[in-house]
């Protein structure tokens, strides 16, 4: 079953009764609503006047829902995660921490090759020459020592949007604001899947920033970024006003968890595909496999 993504932008009181999420609107005449907690995959709390009970938080975490908090600027700043995400968590973390450097370099090589390949297919779908990207994807070495990721990114972003002088930057002009928001949602989806697979999202295979609590999530989400890019490009092509990150635009980006992606020969919702990716990652740490499973943009 595809889990639901709930997005709260107004003052709301969230409580629980009979394993249902009860949504009340204290400043409105609207009637309360109930939603089965087991149906919820992600909860985005945007408004600063949302009140949520500890009972709701506990039940959502027990059902492995991702709870995302937003700041006063309505941007995601936090992800509430469970202390225990898998029954074999201690054993799985041990294998993750004991992963050899050659294995990590091989996994990063596969990750970057998959990312660049997907970027190539995205450009091809837009009738943009992508031969260079496919060539670079095949040339990625262990650990990406020649930094093909960066080379591919320069080419990709130069051609992807039909916008004058666009530069991909965290603090750049629109549609960077849409990309940032979409990547934040993707990061939460990835962290949730890693925790559910019994791994620490903070211990990466490549990213090592000591101030980053989601290094492994940032590693594993790389080949999935193109799905955010395509959603954003669809918004850009619709000629909507993208200078401000409106509620309508956010709702469009929050379709991300349920969009279909092609993985291992069949289509799956992105959240399910991500779980397959993190499961395959653990099998690599365990020594059962040397290949991590990533989606292919089609």
Task: Output the CA–CA distances (angstroms, integers) from residue 183 to 1, 28, 186, 220, 293, in the order listed.
Answer: 24, 33, 5, 12, 20
Cα distance from N-terminal residue to C-terminal residue, the chain: 23
* Cβ atoms 185, 177 nearer than 8 A: no
Any binding-site annotation on 244? no
Q: What is the DSSP letter of 42?
A: E
Q: Which residue has the tokens 């262990």?
A: 142
DSSP for 103-168 reads HHHHHHHHHHHHHHHHHHHHHHHTT---HHHHHHHHHPPGGGTT-HHHHHHHHHHHHSS--TT---
- CA 286 from chain centre, in angstroms, equals 24
Which residue, among 240, 282, 237, 291, has the nearest Cα to 264 in the 3D structure? 291
Token pair belonging to 114: 């998959």
Q: What angle do CA 154, 158, 162 make, to 5 degrees?
A: 155
- Count CB neighbours of 133 within 10 A: 26
* Cβ atoms 43, 59 nearer than 8 A: no
Cα–Cα distance for residue pair 156/126, rounded to 1 Å: 12
3-state secondary structure of 266: strand
- Count CB neighbours of 89 within 10 A: 17
Any binding-site annotation on 207? yes
Q: How many CA atoms lie within 13 A of 288 on its CB side?
A: 9
Annotated binding site: 149, 207, 222
Annotated binding site for Mn(2+): 149, 207, 222
């Amino acid at each position: 079953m595809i889990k639901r993504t709930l997005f709260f932008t107004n003052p709301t009181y969230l409580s629980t009764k009979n394993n249902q999420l009860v949504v009340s609107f204290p400043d409105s005449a609207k009637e309360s609503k109930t939603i089965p907690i087991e149906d919820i995959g992600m909860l985005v709390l945007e408004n600063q006047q949302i009140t949520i009970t500890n009972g709701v938080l506990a039940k959502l975490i027990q059902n492995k829902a991702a709870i995302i908090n937003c700041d006063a600027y309505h941007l995601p700043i936090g992800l509430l995660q469970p202390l225990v995400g898998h029954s074999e968590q201690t054993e799985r973390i041990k294998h993750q921490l004991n992963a050899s450097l050659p294995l990590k370099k091989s996994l990063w090589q596969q990750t970057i090759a998959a990312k660049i390949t997907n970027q190539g297919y995205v450009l091809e779908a837009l009738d943009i020459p992508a031969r260079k990207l496919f060539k670079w994807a095949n040339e990625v070495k262990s650990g990406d020592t020649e930094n093909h990721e960066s080379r591919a990114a320069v080419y990709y972003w130069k051609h992807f949007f039909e916008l004058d002088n666009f530069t991909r930057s965290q603090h750049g002009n629109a549609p960077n604001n849409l990309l940032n928001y979409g990547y934040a949602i993707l990061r939460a989806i990835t962290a949730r899947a890693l925790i559910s697979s019994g791994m620490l999202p903070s211990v990466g295979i490549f990213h090592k920033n000591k101030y980053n609590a989601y290094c492994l999530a940032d590693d594993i989400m790389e080949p999935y970024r193109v799905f955010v890019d395509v959603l954003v490009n669809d918004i850009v092509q619709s000629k909507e006003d993208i200078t401000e990150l409106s509620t309508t635009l956010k709702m469009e980006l929050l379709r991300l968890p349920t969009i279909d992606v092609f993985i291992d020969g069949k289509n799956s919702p992105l959240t399910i595909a991500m779980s397959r990716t993190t499961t395959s990652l653990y099998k690599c740490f365990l020594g059962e496999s040397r290949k991590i499973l990533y989606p292919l943009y089609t």
